[in-house]
Amino acid sequence: MMTQTREHRLVDTFVRLTDTLVADYDVVDLLQRLVDEATELFDAQAAGILLANDDHVLEVVASTSERSNFIGLLQLTSGEGPCVEAFTTGRAVSVVDTAEMQRRWPVFAEASRESGYASVHSIPLRLRDATLGSMNLFRETEGALNEEDARAAQALTDVATISILQQRVLEHATVAQEQLQRALDSRVVIEQAKGFLAHTRQVDMDEAFRILRGHARSNRLPLGDVARAVVSHELEL
């Protein structure tokens, strides 16, 4: 059962996500906030989100660490894993231990084990018949999310999905696709900025991302805009 502190944090997260229901917002910032908060709320050590592009091919758009980013990419190249299955079926996928991972997705299981993860819960970003992608929660302990946490995780992803496919966008499908494609393009620039900072600051990729994200949040700027400024040498961090 959630403690009062966790309940307050969950409510606060819902409020921040629903604040995106405005005329203009950054999809990457929204999804990055979702994975950051989800790790804290559901006792996960890492999280990542895959989002479908114009050709309905999944791409990594948000992650909390290089480990979760790598495992997300691995699922895409191998075509197997819980996040891929959650996207294709539109249903949550819970894998409670490494033995089950090995039976279902050997390549994914090996990477998860090497990264120290013993269980994973994948939630689709779905609204009615439209599934945009999925979110992975990685945990170092075995076992499934309890029923209350599983419902809360699905509710958070539902809010994020609604934020992307709000009614004004549903009425203009072209705008929706452009919005999603901008999110995918922004992620590419963010990865470039992380690499640049890692090289210039002589830090690892996780620390480079923390520097990038910290500047964006402290200055209330979209993460993608900060990344572009770093890559174009307009901003020095």
For tokens 């403690």, the residue is 3
Give me the DSSP letters along 173-199: HHHHHHHHHHHHHHHHHHHHHHHHHHH
Q: How confident is the model at residue 168, as a pLDDT?
A: 46
CB neighbour class for 67 (10 Å; exposed up to 12, middle 13-18, buried from 19): buried
Q: How confident is the model at residue 34, as a pLDDT?
A: 87
For the chain, 237 residues long, the average pLDDT of each consecutive 10-residue run is 69 74 69 88 90 82 80 76 91 93 90 89 88 92 91 89 66 59 77 90 90 88 88 89
User: Would you state the structure tokens that stand for residue 56, as one six-digit string?
Assistant: 């309905």
* Residue 143 and residue 38 share a domain: yes
Q: How confident is the model at residue 78, as a pLDDT?
A: 76
* Residue 211 and residue 139 share a domain: no
* Residue 140 and residue 124 share a domain: yes
Into how many domains does the chain fold? 2
Q: How confident is the model at residue 217, as a pLDDT?
A: 86
What element of type H or E holds 152?
helix 147-164
* Residue 42 and residue 74 share a domain: yes
* Residue 162 and residue 50 share a domain: yes
* Residue 66 and residue 178 share a domain: no
* Residue 128 and residue 21 share a domain: yes
Range of the domain at 47: 4-170
Instruction: Supply the pTM of this predicted model.
Output: 0.69
* Residue 119 and residue 54 share a domain: yes
85: three-class secondary structure by DSSP: helix
Q: How confident is the model at residue 4, as a pLDDT?
A: 56
CB neighbour class for 236 (10 Å; exposed up to 12, middle 13-18, buried from 19): exposed
CATH code for the domain of 142: 3.30.450.40
* Residue 186 and residue 112 share a domain: no
What element of type H or E holds 231?
helix 223-231
* Residue 181 and residue 69 share a domain: no
* Residue 55 and residue 23 share a domain: yes
